[in-house]
Structure 1
C-alpha cells in the first residue's frame, strides 16, 4: 500500500510542477480566465484540481486561438455546397 501511495504522491507532484512551470512560462496573451498569479496560487493550493483547470481553461491552444471559432475547410453537407445545389437544380430542370 505504501508503494501505491508513494506513486500517487509522485504523480500529483509531477502534475503540479508541470502545470506550474507551464503557467509561468506561458505568454501573457495566451492566459485566459484569471491572471497568471491567480493561476499559480490555484495550482499550488489545489494541486490536482488547479493543474487540471489550468490545462483545460487557463491557456489557449495557440497564440491566435484565444476566442477564435474553428475554421471550416469545405462544405459540411451537400446542401452547403453551391456547386452541388447548382447541379441538382439543373438536373431537376432537365427532367
Structure 2
C-alpha cells in the first residue's frame, strides 16, 4: 500500500511540475482564458485539476483552430445576396 501511495504522490508531483514549467515558458501570446499568474496559482493550489485544466484550455495548441465567435453579417455583406437582388430588380 505504501508503494502505491508513493507512486501516486510522485505522479501528481510530476504532473504538477511539468504543467508549471510549461505554463512558465509558454509565450504570452499563446495564453488563453486567464493570465499566467492565475494559472500558476491554480496549478499550485489544485495540483491535479489545475494541471489538467492547463493542458486542456490554458494555452492555444498549434494546429488546433481557436473557436471564433460567429459575427452576424448583414445582407449587403453577402455577394450572392447582392447579385440576386440586382437580378431581381433588373427583371422588373
TM-score, L = length of structure 2? 0.69
Distance 2:65 2:46 in 1: 25
Partner of 1:40: 40
Q: 1:31 to 1:57 in 2, by over 3 A?
A: same
Q: For residue 68 of structure 1, report the CA deviation from its aligned partner.
A: 5.6
Q: For residue 44 of structure 1, report the CA deviation from its aligned partner.
A: 0.2
Q: For residue 67 of structure 1, report the CA deviation from its aligned partner.
A: 2.1
Q: For residue 47 of structure 1, report the CA deviation from its aligned partner.
A: 0.1
| Aligned residues of 1:30 and 1:66 also touching (Cα < 8 A) | no
Cα deviations by residue, 1:26-63 (Å, 9 ceiling, x for unpaired): 0000010000000000000000000000000001112x
Partner of 1:67: 66
Q: Report runs of 4+ in structure 1 exceeding 4 Å deviation.
A: none
Structural mapping, 1:42-57, within 5 Å: 42-57=42-57
Q: 1:21 to 1:66 in 2, by over 3 A?
A: farther
Give the secondary structure class of the aligned counterpart of 1:22. Answer: helix
Distance 1:23 1:41 in 2: 11
TM-score, L = length of structure 1? 0.67
Residues 1:11 and 2:38 aligned together = no
Structure 2: 5+ residue stretches without partners: 69-92
Q: For residue 13 of structure 1, report the CA deviation from its aligned partner.
A: 0.1
